[in-house]
Amino acid sequence: KDQVFQPSTVASSEGAVVEIFCNHSVSNAYNFFWYLHFPGCAPRLLVKGSKPSQQGRYNMTYERFSSSLLILQVREADAAVYYCACRGSSNTGKLIFGQGTTLQVKP
Amino acid sequence: NAGVTQTPKFQVLKTGQSMTLQCAQDMNHEYMSWYRQDPGMGLRLIHYSVGAGITDQGEVPNGYNVSRSTTEDFPLRLLSAAPSQTSVYFCASSYGRGDSYEQYFGPGTRLTVT
């Protein structure tokens, strides 16, 4: 079964670099997608790709079956749910989402 | 572009009532999908469509129907609402091919079934 795994909670202190890890069991998935979700808002894409990439304070690492989202200089306002996703193996456009990681930031 | 729009934003239903959640996109995306989000459960796929006239079931389809008569619209119907369907519902769309699998989400519909 195609699945994406990520921790349910990660805690960090303000100003630190926080890492959220993700891995998957999807046989022919090559891209990772990282989304940010604040309650009451639409999830939005932070970074994606099949190689390491960076968008502002967000870095994405890449291995064939795993990826990490690194948030630099984390702030209290970054406290939210972060989703990792991979393309499904059926080539229909489906993304397989992990269960989401809640980031807690201590001042 | 308005992107992905959803209506209503909030809805309260009584058990047994039916209703339709509306979703529309103006990006000419082929792929559209519906998710429900519950605490601790992440985004669970209800139904999806790869183009007008083509739909398929996702992970949690029971109690929901969909149709796709146009590229732009993908309504989700609750046939007989149950308290277990209390959730936040998100619609998403994408080109669904090549390097363009990233999905764009609507703002969500918060549904409460009493």
Closest-CA residue of chain A to B105? A42
Please write the tens of the pLDDT for every residue from A53-70: 999 999 999 998 999 999
- In this complex, the residue of A42, A93, A100 whose CB is nearest that of residue B108 is A42
Which residues in chain A have their CB less than 8 angstroms from residue B103's CB?
33, 45, 95
Q: Which of residues 31-90 of B touch A (CB under 8 A)?
A: 31, 33, 35, 40-43, 45, 48, 50, 56, 58, 90
Residue pair B67/B84 in contact by the 8 Å Cβ criterion: no
Mean pLDDT of all residues belonging to chain B: 94
Residue pair A4/A22 in contact by the 8 Å Cβ criterion: yes
The DSSP secondary structure of B41-89, one letter per residue, reads TEEEEEEEEEETTEEEE-SS-TTEEE--SSSSB--EEESS--GGG-EEE
Does A93 contact B30 at a Cβ distance shorter than 8 Å? yes
Rg of chain B (C-alpha set): 13
Mean pLDDT across the stretch B2-27? Answer: 96
Residue B100 has pLDDT above 80, yes or no: no
Please write the tens of the pLDDT for every residue from B31-87: 999 999 998 888 999 999 999 999 999 999 999 999 999 999 999 999 999 999 999
Order of strands, sheet of B19-25, starting from the edge strand that comes earlier in the sequence: B4-7, B19-25, B76-78, B64-66
Q: For position A94, what pLDDT does the model report? A: 86
> Which residues of chain A fall below pLDDT 70?
89-91
